[in-house]
Amino acid sequence: MQFKVSIVGGGNFGTAIAKLLAENVLNLKSYSPEITMWLYEEYINEIPLTQIINTTHINTKYLPDIHLPTNIRATSDLKELNDSDILIFVIPHQFVKNIINQIKGTLKKGVISVSLIKGVIYSNGDIGLISKYISNTLNIPCGVLMGANIAIEVAKGYISEGTLSGVNDKEGIIIRNLFNSNIYRVSIVDDLWGVELCGTLKNVVSLGYGICKGMGCGLNTCCAVLRNGLVEICNFYKLLGKGKDCTLFESCGISDLMVSCLAGRNFKAGEFIGKKISLEEIKEKMGGQQLQGPDTAKEIYEYLKGKGKEKEFPLFTTVYRVCFENELPDAIYCCISPKSISDQ
Amino acid sequence: MQFKVSIVGGGNFGTAIAKLLAENVLNLKSYSPEITMWLYEEYINEIPLTQIINTTHINTKYLPDIHLPTNIRATSDLKELNDSDILIFVIPHQFVKNIINQIKGTLKKGVISVSLIKGVIYSNGDIGLISKYISNTLNIPCGVLMGANIAIEVAKGYISEGTLSGVNDKEGIIIRNLFNSNIYRVSIVDDLWGVELCGTLKNVVSLGYGICKGMGCGLNTCCAVLRNGLVEICNFYKLLGKGKDCTLFESCGISDLMVSCLAGRNFKAGEFIGKKISLEEIKEKMGGQQLQGPDTAKEIYEYLKGKGKEKEFPLFTTVYRVCFENELPDAIYCCISPKSISDQ
């Protein structure tokens, strides 16, 4: 039997991952040689994007410079996922509930899945994982794969690492072998919460890093913000009683935090915020690209406030206040080794 | 009584620190308001550099764009350190033995000191700390202060952090209060070995990061090298039985590693190495600036080889081999999540 692999999501990261897997499966006997990539249909000059991808082998909207292998087949029909053995979820987190509800009850028995989605689900004062939501709603196993993976670099075949978690030994090997190659190197760790939280919280830190950069700070200051952010991620693990410190040394931890701070979308938004440009204007400037940092900062702040712990997370709290409560960007300076100031 | 503070070293970092402390002492009653800065005399158009600094209040050779406070007095006479209560060592590590031997036996009773010097002493198959060497040779306490501190940024008053260690409570407060301010924030940790090793080993990692950048790699790959380097630093702690993992989350750890990889001298040298330029040519290009990474890579490699552990530190070993054994720069790719490849 060969595993049939489908990717749910055809944005820039989904497309980059489709290319990686389509190249990998050609060298692997256990996986069907065709990769299905589902995407929400869009029209470019009235031509469906799926049709453009299937005929030109280029995702002209999201990854226009990359030629895709011909064994990727794009579709906008969720029914085509029905015979998949492995589902890879790579969609913006605000679309998760809608799509998961549409495919509920339609999947093949024994399907396994992995989420590359960054974000958490905050409701009723509690933090939940997207991978758990997928797993519980569809009643299938769902792991998580995160890492320092700028989409265009993965698409270009630059060497990258990823961290896989939330899988048992058997699933772990099936998923790891699908992704693993000389250009994409997968490590498996036993810490689903830690891996998935990293991917979420880094967006708040990278906003903070961007704010500093936008105010004209040097590297010493920006890196101090990143470091204090890393410490707050670590302390957030402790507050939740979930996540292992050692996971922060994995690709999903410090590496992903670093690339997000240096080149991510939230970093860029942070730079504008540091220049006192409003969130609304920034969203316009970014041409409708989804920004997850501010929403995450809000969710995390609400969670912390609910626990009366917001003062113990000065960076997370300040990023929220700068985004939503007219706090001035330079309030962020108080988050850098704050103890050493107050001790004086 | 007021503590008399002297800085041993007047390069760019020594001068930046002199400026920081000279500004701080004016607001502090416990410290004498004049800072002595000793430097090895050099002549600019036949005029002694100390004389230039004392008359123009600019270190025209090492920090030409920065106006220094007038309460810094430069000298090239080591005897002027004799009445100091606090000595701050900021010299390149290859000059340590010579200078320490010259001041041995000349110091005031009760003097305390702190080393900002990056490097270790490797001899007879063992690794020793510079702070311990200073402390043992002069028979005085010597702490260590390291952090993400690009000299020019400290000199410009950009907010920076530092990590202080190796001091008892009383000395710790005296030294911390001297450095601590709104623009320089000092945290004290109990891990002399960890703090000082970070400052040394990061130079090997930043060479590796530079090598990747020089070969044209993207951020995913460069950050993967940084992360694997961080893991090797952590494993080096374990091999030595010294250093605490949590120290890697301090400014001397991940922050200093990051600024060194992004902007340090060894990173720049690594970039040239990645372009297959020889170490000799690089030293010429860098106009005689001291490069500590290659020598450190060699010392660490020899130590590891002596223990038969070089294979467990693929990045440290590869950086050494690329620098000194004609290994090709792309050998570094084997250091990125190497287990995930060999597991295949």
pLDDT tens profile B81-118? 999 999 999 998 889 999 999 999 999 999 999 999 99
Question: Which chain A residues touch B156 with a CB distance below 8 Å?
Answer: 218
Q: Is the dihedral of CA B97, B102, B106, B112 positive or negative?
A: negative
Complex-level ipTM: 0.96
Condensed to tens digits (0 to 9), the pLDDT of residues A175-232 reads 999 999 999 999 999 999 999 999 999 999 999 999 999 999 999 999 999 999 999 9
What lies within 8 Å, CB to CB, of B284 at 6+ separation is: none
Smallest CA–CA distance from A174 into chain B, residue: B344
Smallest CA–CA distance from A149 into chain B, residue: B220
Q: Which is the catalytic residue, given B202, B213, B305, B339?
A: B202
Q: Does residue A193 contact residue A242 with C-beta atoms inside 8 Å?
A: yes
- Residue B145, helix vs strand vs coil: strand
* Residue from B159, B163, B211, B220 whose CB has the most chain A CBs within 10 Å, to mutate: B220
- Residue B176, helix vs strand vs coil: helix
Decide whether B3-188 matches B193-336 in CATH topology.
Answer: no
Nearest-by-Cβ selection for A255 from B182, B224, B259: B224
Q: Do A224 and B160 touch (CB under 8 A)?
A: yes
What is the pTM assigned to this prediction? 0.95
C-alpha distance from residue B196 to each of A221, A324, B114, B309 (Å): 21, 41, 11, 21
Nearest-by-Cβ selection for A337 from B185, B226, B258: B185
Q: Is the dihedral of CA A322, A326, A332, A334 positive or negative?
A: negative
Question: Å from B184 to nearest chain A CA?
Answer: 9
Cα torsion for B255, B259, B262, B266, to the nearest 10°? -120
CA dist., res. A175 & res. B265, Å (int): 41
Q: Which of B146, B178, B20, B182 is nearest to A341 (CA)?
A: B182
Q: Which fold has domain B193-336?
A: N-(1-d-carboxylethyl)-l-norvaline Dehydrogenase; domain 2 (1.10.1040)
When pLDDT is averaged across residues B139-158 and rounded to a whole number, the result is 97
Q: Does residue A114 contact residue A142 with C-beta atoms inside 8 Å?
A: yes
* Domain boundaries, given as residue ranges, for chain A: 3-188, 193-336
pLDDT band at B342 (very low <50, low <70, confident <90, very high): very low
Condensed to tens digits (0 to 9), the pLDDT of residues A10-34 reads 999 999 999 999 999 999 999 999 9
Q: What is the CATH architecture assignment of B3-188?
A: 3-Layer(aba) Sandwich (3.40)
Q: Which of B206, B254, B329, B228 is nearest to A160 (CA)?
A: B228
Q: Do A156 and B263 touch (CB under 8 A)?
A: no
Question: Which chain B residues touch A160 with a CB distance below 8 Å?
Answer: 220-221, 224
Known catalytic residue at A202: yes
Question: Å from A331 to nearest chain B CA?
Answer: 13
On the question of pLDDT at A159 being above 50, the answer is: yes
